[in-house]
Amino acid sequence: MAVWLFGNLFMMVVATQNFYAIDRLLADSPNETFSAVVASMENPTAREMLRYLSSELNRLYFQYWNLAQLPIGILALGFVSGLRGSKVATWEIVAMLLVVLFLMVAITPSVLSIGRQLDFVPRDPAPPQMRTFGLLHAVYTVLTVANVVLGTLVTLWLQKDR
């Protein structure tokens, strides 16, 4: 459960920090060569290129993390289901696995597809796909937070039972 919870929290931090790092690097990079290359480009172009790279990395990380959660969840389910009186925790883990499967099948592919359609598209005015992307992103986030809450409850139950 610790691996699963940590992985979810780690992904939340990585995804947001990938985008914040762009503005930090553009504002004050310690690498002189990078700063010179950025200075030779138009600043919006440099920012768009870096946002694209960050988006692609996040897309890759989320796909891998979704896949990694399946064996982690199955292992957790195997450990917990073998414990006496673990019916609630077992069903919570099953629910967590169902959330992961739903994210993998229904949400992540759409987020990836729409996200790629939004790469290099001006944001003012906001493109029509932006609303759909925002809603899908919100669903992904809410379901991930729900999994963290369920995982925390399982962990607390295991500690209490111990």
pTM: 0.89
Question: What is the structure's pLDDT at 83?
Answer: 84
Mapped to the 3 state alphabet, what secondary structure does the chain carry? CHHHHHHHHHHHHHHHHHHHHHHHHHHCCCCHHHHHHHHHCCHHHHHHHHHHHHHHHHHHHHHHHHHHHHHHHHHHHHHHHCCCCCHHHHHHHHHHHHHHHHHHHHHHHHHHHHHHHHCCCCCCCCCCHHHHHHHHHHHHHHHHHHHHHHHHHHHHHHHHHC
Using one digit for the tens of pLDDT, what is the confidence trace for 127-137? 999 999 999 99
Taking only the tens of pLDDT, the chain with its 162 residues reads 999 999 999 999 999 999 999 999 988 889 999 989 888 887 678 889 999 999 999 999 999 999 999 999 999 999 998 887 788 999 999 999 999 999 999 999 999 999 999 999 988 899 999 999 999 999 999 999 999 999 999 999 888 866
Question: What is the structure's pLDDT at 46?
Answer: 87
Alpha-carbon distances of 158 from 2, 69, 78, 90, rounded to whole Å: 11, 20, 14, 11
Question: What is the structure's pLDDT at 43?
Answer: 67
Write down the domain spans for the chain. Answer: 2-161
All residues at 6 or more sequence positions from 14 whose CB lies less than 8 Å from its CB, including other chains: 58, 61
